Structure 1
Protein backbone atom coordinates (compact mmCIF):
# COMPACT_ATOMS: atom_id res chain seq x y z
CA UNK A 1 0.00 0.00 0.00
CA UNK A 2 1.06 3.56 -0.65
CA UNK A 3 2.27 5.83 2.12
CA UNK A 4 0.20 8.94 2.95
CA UNK A 5 1.32 12.05 1.08
CA UNK A 6 3.79 14.28 2.94
CA UNK A 7 1.97 17.51 2.12
CA UNK A 8 -1.38 16.05 3.00
CA UNK A 9 -4.78 17.74 3.01
CA UNK A 10 -5.31 21.47 3.51
CA UNK A 11 -8.26 21.28 5.94
CA UNK A 12 -7.25 21.43 9.62
CA UNK A 13 -9.43 20.18 12.45
CA UNK A 14 -9.15 20.66 16.21
CA UNK A 15 -9.16 17.39 18.14
CA UNK A 16 -10.16 17.69 21.79
CA UNK A 17 -10.86 15.34 24.71
CA UNK A 18 -14.50 14.32 25.00
CA UNK A 19 -14.37 14.10 28.80
CA UNK A 20 -12.64 17.35 29.82
CA UNK A 21 -12.77 19.33 26.51
CA UNK A 22 -9.00 20.01 26.58
CA UNK A 23 -7.40 20.54 23.13
CA UNK A 24 -5.16 17.66 22.02
CA UNK A 25 -4.10 18.25 18.38
CA UNK A 26 -4.53 20.51 15.42
CA UNK A 27 -4.51 17.97 12.56
CA UNK A 28 -4.64 18.05 8.72
CA UNK A 29 -7.44 15.59 8.02
CA UNK A 30 -8.41 14.24 4.62
CA UNK A 31 -11.93 13.14 3.73
CA UNK A 32 -15.19 13.56 5.59
CA UNK A 33 -15.36 10.35 7.59
CA UNK A 34 -14.83 9.67 11.27
CA UNK A 35 -11.43 10.13 12.89
CA UNK A 36 -9.87 6.66 13.12
CA UNK A 37 -6.14 7.39 12.95
CA UNK A 38 -3.80 10.38 13.08
CA UNK A 39 -0.56 10.25 11.11
CA UNK A 40 2.11 11.95 13.25
CA UNK A 41 3.58 13.82 10.26
CA UNK A 42 0.20 15.54 9.66
CA UNK A 43 -0.12 16.98 13.19
CA UNK A 44 0.24 20.77 12.95
CA UNK A 45 0.14 21.61 16.69
CA UNK A 46 0.54 19.11 19.52
CA UNK A 47 -0.83 20.14 22.94
CA UNK A 48 -0.03 16.84 24.72
CA UNK A 49 2.81 16.42 27.20
CA UNK A 50 2.91 12.60 27.05
CA UNK A 51 2.06 10.70 23.87
CA UNK A 52 -1.52 9.36 23.57
CA UNK A 53 -2.66 10.86 26.90
CA UNK A 54 -4.93 13.89 27.41
CA UNK A 55 -3.14 16.94 28.87
CA UNK A 56 -6.20 17.82 30.98
CA UNK A 57 -7.51 14.61 32.57
CA UNK A 58 -4.70 12.19 31.68
CA UNK A 59 -6.85 9.46 30.10
CA UNK A 60 -5.47 7.46 27.17
CA UNK A 61 -7.17 8.49 23.91
CA UNK A 62 -5.02 6.60 21.35
CA UNK A 63 -2.41 3.89 20.83
CA UNK A 64 0.95 4.39 19.12
CA UNK A 65 1.22 2.18 16.00
CA UNK A 66 2.60 1.88 12.47
CA UNK A 67 0.11 2.21 9.60
CA UNK A 68 1.38 1.60 6.04
CA UNK A 69 4.95 1.98 7.30
CA UNK A 70 4.30 5.41 8.83
CA UNK A 71 4.06 6.20 12.57
CA UNK A 72 0.50 7.03 13.60
CA UNK A 73 -1.91 7.20 16.54
CA UNK A 74 -4.85 4.77 16.40
CA UNK A 75 -7.74 6.62 18.06
CA UNK A 76 -9.82 4.77 20.70
CA UNK A 77 -13.52 5.17 19.86
CA UNK A 78 -15.51 7.64 21.97
CA UNK A 79 -12.50 9.36 23.57
CA UNK A 80 -12.01 12.42 21.32
CA UNK A 81 -14.12 15.06 19.60
CA UNK A 82 -13.27 16.62 16.22
CA UNK A 83 -14.26 20.17 15.33
Structure 2
Protein backbone atom coordinates (compact mmCIF):
# COMPACT_ATOMS: atom_id res chain seq x y z
CA UNK A 1 0.00 0.00 0.00
CA UNK A 2 1.05 3.60 -0.54
CA UNK A 3 2.61 5.59 2.28
CA UNK A 4 0.94 8.83 3.38
CA UNK A 5 2.21 12.05 1.81
CA UNK A 6 5.12 13.31 3.98
CA UNK A 7 4.43 17.00 3.41
CA UNK A 8 0.76 16.45 3.97
CA UNK A 9 -2.02 19.02 4.03
CA UNK A 10 -1.47 22.61 5.10
CA UNK A 11 -4.70 22.91 7.14
CA UNK A 12 -4.10 22.31 10.85
CA UNK A 13 -6.62 21.28 13.49
CA UNK A 14 -6.37 21.46 17.29
CA UNK A 15 -7.10 18.14 19.02
CA UNK A 16 -8.50 18.19 22.58
CA UNK A 17 -9.43 15.60 25.22
CA UNK A 18 -13.21 15.18 25.22
CA UNK A 19 -13.37 14.74 29.01
CA UNK A 20 -11.26 17.64 30.36
CA UNK A 21 -10.78 19.73 27.17
CA UNK A 22 -6.98 19.74 27.60
CA UNK A 23 -5.06 20.41 24.35
CA UNK A 24 -3.32 17.30 22.99
CA UNK A 25 -1.99 18.00 19.48
CA UNK A 26 -1.88 20.47 16.64
CA UNK A 27 -2.20 18.21 13.57
CA UNK A 28 -2.10 18.64 9.78
CA UNK A 29 -5.34 16.83 8.87
CA UNK A 30 -6.44 16.05 5.33
CA UNK A 31 -10.06 15.70 4.31
CA UNK A 32 -13.24 16.56 6.16
CA UNK A 33 -14.11 13.28 7.84
CA UNK A 34 -13.83 12.08 11.42
CA UNK A 35 -10.47 11.85 13.20
CA UNK A 36 -9.64 8.14 13.16
CA UNK A 37 -5.83 8.20 13.12
CA UNK A 38 -2.97 10.65 13.50
CA UNK A 39 0.27 10.04 11.63
CA UNK A 40 3.10 11.03 13.97
CA UNK A 41 5.03 12.82 11.21
CA UNK A 42 2.07 15.21 10.68
CA UNK A 43 1.86 16.35 14.35
CA UNK A 44 3.22 19.91 14.52
CA UNK A 45 2.82 20.52 18.28
CA UNK A 46 2.57 17.82 20.94
CA UNK A 47 1.23 18.87 24.37
CA UNK A 48 1.28 15.36 25.89
CA UNK A 49 3.94 14.21 28.35
CA UNK A 50 3.29 10.46 28.02
CA UNK A 51 2.49 8.83 24.69
CA UNK A 52 -1.29 8.59 24.07
CA UNK A 53 -2.25 9.73 27.60
CA UNK A 54 -4.07 13.01 28.32
CA UNK A 55 -1.93 15.38 30.45
CA UNK A 56 -5.04 16.72 32.25
CA UNK A 57 -7.08 13.68 33.28
CA UNK A 58 -4.52 10.87 32.66
CA UNK A 59 -6.95 8.91 30.43
CA UNK A 60 -5.62 7.06 27.37
CA UNK A 61 -7.04 8.54 24.16
CA UNK A 62 -5.20 6.52 21.46
CA UNK A 63 -3.08 3.45 20.75
CA UNK A 64 0.30 3.55 18.99
CA UNK A 65 0.31 1.47 15.80
CA UNK A 66 1.81 1.15 12.33
CA UNK A 67 -0.48 2.15 9.44
CA UNK A 68 0.79 1.63 5.86
CA UNK A 69 4.33 1.26 7.22
CA UNK A 70 4.25 4.60 9.07
CA UNK A 71 4.00 5.13 12.86
CA UNK A 72 0.60 6.52 13.85
CA UNK A 73 -1.85 6.88 16.73
CA UNK A 74 -5.18 5.09 16.32
CA UNK A 75 -7.78 7.18 18.16
CA UNK A 76 -10.20 5.53 20.60
CA UNK A 77 -13.77 6.49 19.67
CA UNK A 78 -15.23 9.41 21.63
CA UNK A 79 -12.04 10.24 23.56
CA UNK A 80 -10.94 13.24 21.44
CA UNK A 81 -12.52 16.25 19.76
CA UNK A 82 -11.03 18.64 17.22
CA UNK A 83 -11.59 22.15 15.84
Alignment TM-score, normalising by the size of structure 1: 0.99
Shift >6 Å, 4+ stretches:
none
**Could you list the per-position Cα deviations for residues 15-68 of structure 1 after superposition, in whole angstroms to 9, with x for gaps in the alignment?**
000000000000000000000000000000000000000010000000000000
State the TM-score, normalized to the length of structure 2: 0.99
SS state of the match for residue 44, structure 1? Answer: strand
**Which residue of 2 is the match for residue 29 of structure 1?**
29
Equivalent pairs counted in the alignment come to 83
5+ residue gaps, structure 1, are none
Corresponding residue SS for 1:59: coil
Q: RMSD of the TM alignment (CA)?
A: 0.3
Aligned to 1:6: 6
